Structure 1
Amino acid sequence: MSLCAMPVILVPKKDGTWRMCTNYRTINNITIRYRNPIPRLNDLLDELHDSKLFSKIDLKIRYYQIRVRERDEWKTTFKTKFGLYEWLAMPFGLTNSPFMRLMNHFLRSLIGNREVTFLGFVVGFHGVKVDEEKVKAIQDWLTPKTVRELKKVGFKWDESQERTFQSLKEKLAQAPILALPDFSKSFELECDASSVGIGVMIVQEGHPIAYFSKNLKGSQLNYSTYDRELYALVKA
């Protein structure tokens, strides 16, 4: 017998194999949660100023490399038709699993590379730029040619639209490198507004740090020029 016996379910994986998952909701509901929030991407990038070397580490079956504390194995008990079993390594699904805390503690001193691909961005001492794989997807975007494809566009496609389309692809593929912010120095905020939208750019020593834009809707379209530019400043 066990004080804690949780059900299991098999989930199909893309390669045709199966992943065994344990439903720990019952024990999670009576567990006091640690406060270890997942950091925001923008906050992570902001912390990289003045860095020269970077690391990206992917651990295979990473949870299974951490031993469950002795005498706590019973908390991981799961039931099958063959009987009750306990995990000796850390399973997926338990609240307060210490994986992220351990990684933040042990891996912070590792020496890395001049740049790494991180969450869709290439991060290095030069700053932040878009991953080339994403740029290639834009460059390979084909002009609509069939009647069905043209119907999806919703407007007439002639030479003018084709030039604009190719120009947009070129601009997107040549997106500027964003500098890493230095919070010991001042920032410049550049705002602009048109009749249909607003745009903002944060600059430091002439280098772009971040961009923001937004369409105007409803009553916002009736704002005066001063109000639209003030609205851009507020949203920034």
Structure 2
Amino acid sequence: MPCIPRKIIEHKLGVDPACKPVKQRKRLFDPGRSLIIETEVDKLLIARLIREVLYPTWLCNPVHVTKPDSSWQMCQDFTNLNKACPKDSYPYPRIDTVVDSFVGFYILHFLDAFKVYHQIYMARKDEEKTSFITDRSTYYYSTMSFGFKNTGATYQRLVNKTFKSRIGRNMEVYIDDMVVKSRTYEEILEDLRETFETLRSIQMRLNPKKYTFGVPSKKFLGFIVSHRRIEANPEKVQAIINMKTPTSVKEVQRLTGRMAALNRFLSKSAERGLLFF
């Protein structure tokens, strides 16, 4: 799978040299999960996203994450490796500032990167540290993968650098969420042409199944954005309506957490929230 050139961006772990490498013991999985692991490994090998490795100093195990459709996805348990990596303090955009910026833009175009993290190479000196073990062999990642610490910061650094002349003008980007915004129908073609030329220049690939072009509003970062204002996400409102009356501290905490996501849409939310305590 082609990736963004190394001269543009690489993911660097920055492992603390004082931390000793950790080799996790190989875990046992039932036949069904083992088959999922080996099937996913075959796909990654074909796409050249992983390679076999000999004598790794760091070693972790696969884990299974449940997807929204209840199927399983293979990830890696990078707990030990992540503990040895410092936090990347690169700043993320303020969500409230981003969603407020759509006021006055009547046509919106939503884009989604294809296998977003796998498009960024690992720094060569860090590749071997990403090693994991299966029933068949040991492998390392040649690209960034889900589960590494600081992947969001690396991706935000990439998009800020790539779209620096356009963010706020006719585009907004929050990690891998990209929106092109046009004020008039006459501006649409130019805004999209500029976007795709920029993406082509860094060899970033998009997921055609998740395109949405020319809509007046859509969900973005948990809000409904449009040219008029932002609106509360109906799904979050309905989730609160469907809740049973809280009968424990944990359930009250769950309610206040859901209410917090709607604070900006509620008058005197802080005062009214005191009733929960």
The higher radius of gyration belongs to: 1
1 or 2 for the larger relative contact order (CA 8 Å, sep ≥6)? 2
Higher percent of residues as helix: 2
TM value normalised by structure 1: 0.50
TM value normalised by structure 2: 0.44
